[in-house]
Structure 1
C-alpha cells in the first residue's frame, strides 16, 4: 500500500483553512468571469506576466514592456519560452514529473549555459549550484537524486491533500534541491504553476502566482531556507506563504481588469 506523504502536510496548523481560502479566491475569479469566456489571450497574458515576475525574482532587470517586445535578457527570455509549452506540459506532470521538469529546464536555460547542460540533472562531478539567494548549500548530487526520485514517485500516487499543498511542496523541494546547473528558481516556480493547472486549481492558467512570489520577495529566500532547516514548522510556514501567494495571484490576474 502506497503512503500519502502530502496528506499530513495539508493537516498542519492553519494550512487547510488557508488553502481553502486561496482556492475560494481563484474560484470567485473564474466564476465571475465564467470559464467558457476565458480566452487564450487571457491565459497568454497571465503567463507572460508570470514569466516577467519569475525572471525578476531570479535577478532579471527586464521590464514587462521589454519582455512583451522580446527584448529581454536570458533569464526573462527563458521564462517566456517556458510559457509557450507550460499548458501542454501541465497534464503530464503527474505521470512523468521528471520529464516535465527537465523539459522546463531545457526551455528556461537555453540562453544561460552550454547546450549539454540543458535538461541535465547535475552529478557528483559538478559544482553545487548557488542560484537562489538565501538558501543553505544545495545537497550533494546523490542526496538530490534520492529526494528528487522520491518526490516524483509521490506525485504519481493518489493524495487527499489540497492541490495547492502539493504544488507548494514541489516548488520548495525543487528550489532546495537545485537539481540543475542553472535556472532552478525559474523551473521551481514553473513546476508549481504546472501543478496548479493540472490539479484543477487554475485549469485555464489565468492567475499569476509568480507575481505573488515577487511581491512577497522579502520572504522568498528566507521562507525556502526555513523550509529546508526548520522541519514541519518551516514546511507549515512555507505552505501558508504559498496560500497567500495564490490569493495575490488571483488578484493580479488580467481577468480582474478586463471584467
Structure 2
C-alpha cells in the first residue's frame, strides 16, 4: 500500500497540468502585484471577502457592504469570526491538524450549538473520517499543494463531521492548506469568492465527489483548477492594481 494517500490523483488526465497552470496564475498575481509591499490590511480584505462569500454559500443573505460594516446576518458573523482567527491556526494545523479543525468549528458554531458539541464530531464514524482528513494536512505527497487543498475541502464537505457549519469549516480549511503549504502564506487569494462565482459548478461537483468513485473525484479536481484561477483574480491585489 502506498504511503502517499493522494498518489491516485497525480495520474488523472488534466489534473497535474491544470493545477500547475493554476499555481502559475496565483504566483503571477502575488509576484506581479507586489507581494513584498502588501499590508495586513490587504490580507484582512481578502479574508473579509472570503468570509462574505463563504457565508453566502452557507445560507447568508448579507451583502458584502453589510458584512464590511458589521451589519451582516448571523451566518455572515459566524464566517467573519472564523476569518479573523484563521491565520493564527497555520502553525497549529502544521502540528496538530485535528486541533485546528476543532477550533474552526468551535469558532464558527459559537452560539448555534451547545458548548459541549463545539469542535466535536457528530459520532464515531465522523470522528474516524475527521482523523483521516487531518492526515492530509501534514502528509508528504507528490500531489500539488493546490490539489491537497481541494481534496481537504471536498472530504470535509462529504463527511459533514460536525453538527453545523461544515461548509464554513471546509472552506476555511482550504485556506489553511494554501497558507500552511506555502502557496499563499499571506492569504491574499480568495477561493471562497471563486466558489461563489462558480456556484452551480461548485455545488454539482461537490455532490459528484460525495457520491464517490473516480469520475466524481476527477471532475471535482478539474473544477478546482478553474476555481483557483478565479481565486487569484478575486484577490484584492487585483483591484488595488486596477
Normalising TM by the smaller chain, what interval?
over 0.9
Return the TM-score normalized by structure 2.
Answer: 0.95
Equivalence for 2:176 = 194
Name the structure where helix makes up a greater proportion of residues.
2
What is the rounded CA distance, in whole Å, between the counterparts of 2:41 and 2:72 in structure 1?
21
Find out whether 1:5 has 2:9 as its counterpart.
no
Measure how far apart 1:90 and its partner are. 1.9
SS at match of 1:5: coil
C-alpha deviations, 1:182-201, integer Å up to 9, x for none? Answer: 00000000000110111111
What is the rounded CA distance, in whole Å, between the counterparts of 1:2 and 1:14 in structure 2?
22
Equivalence for 2:20 = 20
> Which residues in structure 2 correspond to 1:47-126 (within 5 Å)?
47-123=47-123
Return closer, same or farther for 1:258/1:69 CA change in 2, 3 Å cut-off: same
What is the rounded CA distance, in whole Å, between the counterparts of 2:169 and 2:189 in structure 1?
18
Return closer, same or farther for 1:94/1:234 CA change in 2, 3 Å cut-off: farther
SS at match of 2:13: coil
SS at match of 1:219: helix
Aligned residue pairs, count: 241
> Which residues in structure 2 correspond to 1:194-233 (within 5 Å)?
194-233=176-215
Unaligned runs of 5+ in 1: 124-140
C-alpha deviations, 1:129-183, integer Å up to 9, x for none? Answer: xxxxxxxxxxxx42x3222222223433211210011101100111110111000
What is the rounded CA distance, in whole Å, between the counterparts of 2:139 and 2:172 in structure 1?
21
Equivalence for 1:160 = 142
Superposition misfits of 4+ residues, deviation over 4 angstroms: none
SS at match of 1:110: coil
Return the TM-score normalized by structure 1.
Answer: 0.89
Measure how far apart 1:69 and its partner are. 1.3
What is the rounded CA distance, in whole Å, between the counterparts of 2:219 and 2:134 in structure 1?
23
> Which residues in structure 2 correspond to 1:26-37 (within 5 Å)?
26-37=26-37
C-alpha deviations, 1:51-110, integer Å up to 9, x for none? Answer: 000000111001111111111122111111111111111232232111111100111111
